[in-house]
Amino acid sequence: MSCSERFPGPGECAEMIKKAGSVVALTGAGISTSAGIPDFRGPRGLYVTRRYDPDLVFNIDHFHRDPLHFYEFTRDFIQMTKDIRPTFAHRALAALEANDLLDGVITQNIDALHHLAGSRRIIELHGSYWTASCTKCTKGGIRGATGEWWDEAVRTGPNAPIVNCSFGGGVIKPDVVFFGEAVNGFEAAATMVAQCNLLLVLGSSLTVYPAAILPSLAAGKVMVVNRGNVMLEPASGRYFIEEDLNDFFRAVFEELGLTVP
């Protein structure tokens, strides 16, 4: 549904954040597109520009049979993202958490930019490239695997582009949620949303399930900042802002009197 209601502005947003007592953020692809990461399914996304079939790339049964499709996608994804840095909005959420104004971030994104921005309490519903695991053993886990590690491993691995664990010999799989796998931490995310007094929905059109269910679980206020339509019914306590995320948060932080590293 189109966002027909408008929020008064960053000043009132800042007041709501200060007074809420408990704030949670739910982020989607829109928070990362301004960093240079196109929506996978968008006109500049890897599904289109490299003609990848998501049913092959992210199907867990196919991965176990032949991980090459996923690794070829990963090689392009890492090449595309290795020089990308968190946006002002990513860093603003980390700063809110550091100032005890944000309980945590729930994200649909796999790009690990929230980690790189400094957020600590993160639920990655679809996983990310930040960690990776061996498919055969428990010793081959890697943390902070995004960027340089994957770039080097995919480029120079003995079976390049496929990377195998040096302990168990299994294929190293980044902890990205594939089709056929359960999303990460949904119950914890649902509890966070149900218990918070203010839910910030940032850069998400709320069309992907089960993340799209979360705002309906909020007992407190919901503030949506997104360019374009959002699949959430207008209701009392729901505010819709169709503005650039980074510009909006710069204005909010001015009102809060906070700085972003």
Annotated catalytic residue, options 62, 69, 114, 126: 126
Q: What is the per-residue pLDDT for 39? A: 62
Q: Which CATH architecture does the domain made up of 40-83+129-176 adopt?
A: 2-Layer Sandwich (3.30)
Q: What is the per-residue pLDDT for 43? A: 54
Domain with CATH 3.30.1600.10 in the chain: 40-83+129-176
Q: What is the mean pLDDT of residues 14-42?
A: 87
Burial class of residue 261 (count of CB atoms within 10 Å of its CB; 0-12, 13-18, 19+): exposed
Q: What is the per-residue pLDDT for 123? A: 97
Q: What is the per-residue pLDDT for 134? A: 85
Q: What is the mean pLDDT of residues 134-147?
A: 66
The pLDDT-based confidence of 2 (bands split at 50, 70, 90) is very low
The per-residue pLDDT of the chain, averaged, comes to 85
The pLDDT-based confidence of 174 (bands split at 50, 70, 90) is confident
Is 31 in contact with 90 (CB distance < 8 Å)? yes
Q: Between residues 7 and 58, which one has the greater pLDDT?
A: 58
Secondary structure in 3-state letters for the chain: CCCCCCCCCHHHHHHHHHHHCCEEEEECCHHHHCCCCCCCCCCCCHHHHCCCCHHHHCEHHHHHHCCHHHHHHHHHHHHHHCCCCCCHHHHHHHHHHHCCCCCEEEECCCCCHHHHHCCCCEEECCEEEEEEEECCCCCCCEECCCCHHHHHHHHHCCECCECECCCCCCEEEEEECCECCCCCCHHHHHHHHHHCCEEEEECCCCCCCCHHHHHHHCCCEEEEECCCCCCCCCCCCEEEECCCHHHHHHHHHHHHCCCCC
Q: Between residues 9 and 166, which one has the greater pLDDT?
A: 9
Q: What is the per-residue pLDDT for 155? A: 67
Distance CA 12, CA 31 (A): 21
Q: What is the mean pLDDT of residues 131-147?
A: 69
Domain with CATH 3.40.50.1220 in the chain: 1-37+86-126+183-261
- 126 included as an active-site residue: yes
Q: What is the per-residue pLDDT for 3? A: 42
- Out of 3.90.1150.10, 3.30.2130.30, 3.40.50.1220, 3.40.250.10, select the CATH number for domain 1-37+86-126+183-261: 3.40.50.1220
**Model confidence at 142: pLDDT above 70:** no
pTM given for the model: 0.88
Q: What is the mean pLDDT of residues 90-107?
A: 98
Q: What is the per-residue pLDDT for 7? A: 65
